[in-house]
Structure 1
Amino acid sequence: MEQQALKGAPIPKPHICQLQIADVFASFAAGWRDFTRHSTMGLFFGAIYAVGGLFILAMLFYFQMPWMIIPVAIGFPLVGPFIAVGLYDISRRTFYGQPVTWRAVLAEVFRQRERQLSWMAFVVLFIFWIWIYQVRLLMALFLGFRIPSSLEGFAQVALQTPEGLAFLAIGTVVGGILATLLFSVTVISMPMLVEREVDFVTAMLTSMRTVMENPLPMLTFGIIVAGAAVVALVPLFLGLLIVLPVAGHATWHLYRRAVRFEE
């Protein structure tokens, strides 16, 4: 029956399983095993993410917008699930005992542009754009013309003025809502779309149902991933070399534990 999960097979109805906190840690353990088994590939995809972050950082300084570093650093992990497509395929191939080669994995990544996963890219980037837009809007509302041209000046205004503290408080709430929304629609849908030929709306609804029916385990997983990703940004994004691949592999294993298909 499991072989029906391979792409091109008929699509049975997804069934949401009850998860425990133990499933979260088991998924991370399985993700770590996949990373150590295919560490070169994991580091490759992690490097793409890290280099992308450094490029964005350089552009912010080039265009003299260092005050956007903090919101971009917070929002940057939101695009992680899309970057992790190759990692999902590595875990899928390992799970089914298929060969894990550079040619096979990269071919699968490029093949996604012809499948439903490409629509998910628009969803992810749209929510990321909303995050950046609302940060700029809140800055204009609370800080007005007091937005400094340096990171140090921005930190001083944000942390030492009533308007800055209000901006941080409301921005944190709005950002938390957007991050929770994006996590809910992508955490299961992304690995599902890599594994099965299913439309992206069905995948997103299945993902949201999984989070709603398993709020504590799923949010625990999300908090761990988000916390690790933020910490990984500190040493010039270098921590993402390990955090992204482990989180990507763990996400696929959590999906396998969370969703079963009625054959």
Structure 2
Amino acid sequence: MTIRNPVVWSFDQIRQTFGAVKSVEHAFHHPAEEASLVVPQVRRITVADLKDVLRRGFSDFGAYRTDVIFICLIYPLAGLLIGAATLGNGLLPLLFPLVSGFALLGPFAAAGLYEMSRRREQGQSVTWTDAFNVLTSPSLAAIIELGLLLVGIFLVWLLVAMGIYQMTLGPDLPESVSAFVTAVFTTGPGWALIVVGVGVGFLFAVAVLAISAVSFPLLLDHRVGVSVAVRTSVRAFMVNPVPMLTWGFIVAGGLVLGAIPLLVGLVVVMPVLGHATWHLYRKVVQ
């Protein structure tokens, strides 16, 4: 056996990941069911439109602040449980991949927030219980299918992240948190771990952004199949690469800021971004 360059190995894993995603997409593709469906049209937007998207997201959050905070307590609690489980089971190298990769599931986890924004847009009264109306949506099966796809990508990311660790600082696990931090920031292999890990993680994030930026809101708004929703989202990304990438950086920056105070900030960041994503969908998809 030969030890390959970690960069080459990582990109090989990414290539396999996209192959797996394509296979899953074909598995969810039901031509007979989707042949009669109208494929949504995609509009062009600008970076300036994102200001209005965020403004509307803050407006929805302000209108239902108590309700969405109650719902979104699950995000910091889940993050803290992940951290505790990781540290308690000798999986320290997976702490950052787990916490950062948790954001890959955000579009699925925020489905209830999209529903609240949708109902407010229609002038209906909204309470926190309305977030669970997603469970009665005609597109529930498709939403779950797409959510499972994101879970699959998340698991592949964890495998790739652990592989990067094994090829840089591994194969032995760190003896303590301080030893791990020292190795990461003061050694050549540690910096290789940072550079390759962040680079590969960025590719995963872009892939998830492309397939899920507007697909979940679209599934809630119209009874379309997973394939149509994903293709529409990818097309929205391709038509608006700069605004969509900018949106991705806004989401990433918001999550980082929300995570700094022991993840407590996510109680505000997650609902704002969730509501704003609905309004982004409204601007992009006709």
Give the TM-score normalised by the residue count of structure 2. Answer: 0.83
* Cα-to-partner distance string for 1:30-71 (whole Å, 9 max, x where unaligned): 000000001122112321111111111111122132332222
CA distance in 1, matches of 2:162, 2:130: 42
Is 1:249 the equivalent of 2:252?
A: no
Q: 234, 254, 265: which is aligned to 1:228?
A: 254
Q: Conserved in 1, the CA contact under 8 Å of 2:184 and 2:194?
A: yes
Structure 2 equivalent of residue 98 of structure 1:
124
- Measured after TM superposition, the shift of residue 110 of structure 1 is 5.9
Confirm or deny: 8 A CA contact 1:120 1:200 kept in the other structure.
yes
- What code does the residue aligned with 2:131 have? V
Report how many aligned residue pairs link the two structures: 251
1:180-191 to 2 correspondence within 5 Å? Answer: 180-191=206-217
Identity of aligned residues (%): 34
Q: Write the distance in 1 (CA, Å) between the matches of 2:178 and 2:200.
A: 24
Q: Does 1:79 align with 2:94?
A: no
Match of 2:228 in 1: 202
Task: Report how far residue 187 of structure 1 moved.
Answer: 0.9
TM-score normalised by the chain length of structure 1 = 0.90
The reply to whether residue 22 of structure 1 matches residue 22 of structure 2 is no
Partner in structure 2 of residue 54 of structure 1: 80
Which residue of structure 2 aligns with residue 4 of structure 1? Answer: none
Q: Does 1:144 align with 2:170?
A: yes
Distance 1:118 1:72 in 2: 21
Greater RCO (Cα-Cα under 8 Å, separation 6 or more):
1
Question: CA separation in 1, counterparts of 2:199 and 2:131?
Answer: 38
Rounded Cα–Cα distance in structure 1 between residues aligned with 2:264 and 2:154: 22
1:39 is aligned to 2:62: no
- Kept in 1, the 8 Å contact 2:108–2:147? The answer is yes
Distance 1:43 1:122 in 2: 25
2:183 maps to 157
Q: CA shift at 1:116, angstroms?
A: 0.5
**In 1: Cα distance, 2:263 partner to 2:49 partner:** 28
In the alignment, is residue 178 of structure 1 matched against residue 189 of structure 2?
A: no
- The question of whether the paired residues in 2 share the 8 Å contact of 1:78 and 1:179 is answered with yes
Q: CA separation in 2, counterparts of 1:224 and 1:78? A: 14
Structure 1: which 5+ runs fail to align? Answer: 1-9
Cα distance between partner residues in 1 of 2:92 and 2:169: 16
The correspondence for 1:193, drawn from 190, 215, 219, is: 219
Match of 1:130 among 148, 156, 161: 156
Cα deviation 1:226-254 (Å, max 9, x = unaligned): 11102211211101000000000000000
What is the CA deviation profile of residues 177-232 of structure 1, one whole-angstrom value per residue up to 9, with x for unaligned ones? 00100011011101111111110111011001101110111111110111110221
Residue identity in the other structure for 1:71: P
Q: How far does residue 123 in structure 1 lie from its aligned partner after superposition?
A: 1.1
Output the CA distance in 2 between the equivalents of 1:60 and 1:190: 30
Aligned-pair CA distance for 1:105: 2.9
Conserved 8 A contact 1:24-1:254: yes
Classify 1:41/1:11 alpha carbon distance in 2 versus 1 (closer, same or farther; 3 Å). Answer: farther
Residue by residue over 1:106-163, the C-alpha shift from the partner in whole angstroms, topping out at 9 and shown as x without a partner, is: 2334657842100011111111111111111111111223431322221211111111
